[in-house]
Structure 1
């Protein structure tokens, strides 16, 4: 397996660091628009792992140009393209990978467009619609596009497949519930606003109309931050208010898993929600460039890019961050015995541990873990397929077993949890 990793930011950097401990691939080409970032990632690996670093090569790439993506992929004879940049680049990387005859993986899918007249009730262009529309092209080419294989989407989708195959005879709801108790502080110890993930992506998913799936209704939308609920998270996080957010799992799970309802709720917090609403009110969430006067003359810049430039790079937050993040899936329905059942399947990532082991903050590290596991399963043939497929289309037990197996025994040493949340009467 020869991997083209596009993006050496927080998640891409963590993917390379996790992969450096594995032996399933021949070469990983770490690419970025800023070549120095790719080179810095490889320098860290070489310093940490010595000879293992020779499997990593740095290259410059323009992710906005499908021809450049294809050219870099073919120049390095890659077999798999791993997309680790913002979802606005999905169409060009997706096209470039297919043109290069390579398989493709991503952690966020092609962007949505709200319904033009009824955005808070009806779906417009949904997340991933553009990619699924091209499934026949991938099938004809005999190539695989594994979409949505980060942590969310990704791990929760694996949990959904596992629950359907091993825990439930009938599923009422697949409810992704993510929360954390993370705190970021400045040099004086004061808590500051600093999103732990790309603010570009965060704005996109939080301010767009959230999507819900119901078997009798299909996909529909609601107002942003709707249906707040208090959810109890494990790992010392405790109760967190979660709200509806647009996310890929709701668009993926119903395609392969039989359930009556699918939702995604995220614990954002009142301050975060307030800031996002203010950005929207000021038009600072917009992606279309606006003309701005500057000392050097007028320039055109997207307001959202200005917001992103003004905030700390999420990859740099690790030393200032403390706490734990939790990604998981709450499933309700009937167990294999036909009795009512509710469980929460989850994975925890502690920032102190991820920083000590990988010098990566926990949110980006947790996101990066899952595509590396998927790549390893693809390399051995344990997972295989053609067309555009989500994680639900594959054997979940193989993934979770490899994830939990101790590193000394060839696994990743990452235990996942299963809590019984059944209400007894």
Structure 2
């Protein structure tokens, strides 16, 4: 059995911990670390409520500063963890990866690294941080699987599946993310407000015509008719997976679309126009220096607190167009998740559930050796079938629409 360390203690970490607790035959001890142990202890209590005291007894809470690579490395060595799932703030990714390079532990994350001093760096985003460490991972024999959440992550596997099994040539990849759920708060973000707003305040980059294209946020919209959630408007948005998929499929257009309601757009626009989404410090009349974006984060609800009242479903998928035997073809591979079902199973809302289950599936594949590749890779660089099969058994089944037929993605 393989000991595992979870970095982070938010809503996604809660899902990761619950799913690890359901697979203790593979993981042995599961350790959870955050700046303070309080949230880690709360996650363990949640596991105790859902899975029982025996499962919770195999989980341990730790305090660590994840920006201190040496401290994280010491924790990895102390716990004997051979796999690290990083679901903390995207600001700590490179620090945690460095700790894995120091110790030889496998590294898995769910989002691209961000420099807190910069917003929307020059593409390709992975080239600014992660890819610079690829050679060191290979030299050290360290497995590093980047972006193993849902998007990025599962949607990348969907693109690879379509390319491998359904198309001879890929001409476009459109990732569509729709949350058709509702909660009881006047306004909230579904994940860390600071990361959420930073994601949407910069340039919208897409890969089209063999080059990077730029747009403003909410400039380009498209209506999508999707399974279960129906007709939804989504906006062209900059996102992590565009930057890796465009490297693997350079001749295809790669775009990311996310659904936003009018209320979100109105609040976002007001906050941005007032300067409250700025990451640059300002000084108050009393002489106190504050970062407006961090103040907004402090007053908004914790995304994890939305779970008890969340209702409705998500639909996230990848539409891949191209040719097969010289004929135009398209396939849409997708998943539908239910907020209420996620809460009943693991005490989290559906957005956290879709982000938290995939890295555990990836960790299981690393533990089994199937994905223990001893180098750095994105999900689309790895065989998709084992990953999707794991997800199907873990609560995130995939479906495919092709030639007008909607069916389950069957194991082969």
TM-score normalised according to structure 1 size: 0.89
1:133-179 per-position Cα deviation (integer Å, ceiling 9, x unaligned)? 11111111111211111111011001011111111111111110011
Give the secondary-structure state (helix, strand or coil) at the position aligned to 2:203: coil
Q: Which residue of 2 aligns with 1:416?
A: 398
Aligned mate of 2:244, from 235, 249, 252: 252
Q: Which residue of 2 aligns with 1:265?
A: 257
Task: Confirm whether residue 357 of structure 1 aligns to residue 350 of structure 2.
Answer: no
Task: Confirm whether residue 241 of structure 1 aligns to residue 233 of structure 2.
Answer: yes
Task: Confirm whether residue 284 of structure 1 aligns to residue 276 of structure 2.
Answer: yes
Q: How many residues align?
A: 401
Task: Confirm whether residue 208 of structure 1 aligns to residue 207 of structure 2.
Answer: no
1:179-219 per-position Cα deviation (integer Å, ceiling 9, x unaligned)? 12111125xxxxx22222221121121122122113x5333
Q: Which stretch of the first structure deviates more once superposed, 308-317 or 198-207?
A: 198-207
Distance 1:106 1:245 in 2: 21
Contact conserved, 1:290 with 1:303, CA < 8 A, in 2? Answer: yes
Task: Confirm whether residue 325 of structure 1 aligns to residue 314 of structure 2.
Answer: yes
Task: Confirm whether residue 334 of structure 1 aligns to residue 323 of structure 2.
Answer: yes
Q: Which residue of 2 aligns with 1:18?
A: 19
Contact conserved, 1:108 with 1:147, CA < 8 A, in 2? Answer: yes
Give the secondary-structure state (helix, strand or coil) at the position aligned to 1:263: strand
Q: CA 1:386–1:210 in structure 2 vs 1: closer, same or farther (change >3 Å)?
A: farther
Q: CA deviation at 1:226?
A: 2.9
Contact conserved, 1:257 with 1:392, CA < 8 A, in 2? Answer: no
1:224-243 per-position Cα deviation (integer Å, ceiling 9, x unaligned)? 223210011212x1111111
Q: Which residue of 2 aligns with 1:189?
A: none
Aligned mate of 1:91, from 89, 94, 99: 94
Q: CA 1:93–1:302 in structure 2 vs 1: closer, same or farther (change >3 Å)?
A: farther
Q: Which residue of 2 aligns with 1:220?
A: 213
Q: CA 1:175–1:113 in structure 2 vs 1: closer, same or farther (change >3 Å)?
A: farther
Q: Which residue of 2 aligns with 1:408?
A: none
**Counterpart mapping for 1:13-412 below 5 A:** 13-22=14-23, 23-49=25-51, 50-111=53-114, 124=122, 126-129=124-127, 130-186=129-185, 192-214=186-208, 216-235=209-228, 237-257=229-249, 259-292=251-284, 298-335=287-324, 337-404=325-392, 411-412=393-394
Contact conserved, 2:100 with 2:142, CA < 8 A, in 1? Answer: no
Distance 2:250 2:400 in 1: 20
Q: CA deviation at 1:112?
A: 7.0
Contact conserved, 1:3 with 1:82, CA < 8 A, in 2? Answer: yes
Distance 2:96 2:291 in 1: 21
Distance 2:375 2:211 in 1: 23
Distance 2:236 2:403 in 1: 21
1:31-56 per-position Cα deviation (integer Å, ceiling 9, x unaligned)? 11121110111122233322122221
Give the secondary-structure state (helix, strand or coil) at the position aligned to 2:357: helix
Instruction: Give the aligned CA root-mean-square deviation in angstroms.
Output: 2.2
1:383-420 per-position Cα deviation (integer Å, ceiling 9, x unaligned)? 1323321001111011112222xxxxxx3243211113
Distance 2:136 2:301 in 1: 40
Distance 1:270 1:175 in 2: 22
Q: CA 1:230–1:131 in structure 2 vs 1: closer, same or farther (change >3 Å)?
A: same
| Gap runs ≥5 in structure 1 | 187-191, 405-410
Distance 1:397 1:155 in 2: 11
Q: Which residue of 1 aligns with 2:408?
A: none
Contact conserved, 2:85 with 2:109, CA < 8 A, in 1? Answer: yes
| Gap runs ≥5 in structure 2 | 406-412
Distance 2:74 2:356 in 1: 25
1:232-261 per-position Cα deviation (integer Å, ceiling 9, x unaligned)? 1212x1111111111111011133346511
Distance 1:54 1:151 in 2: 29
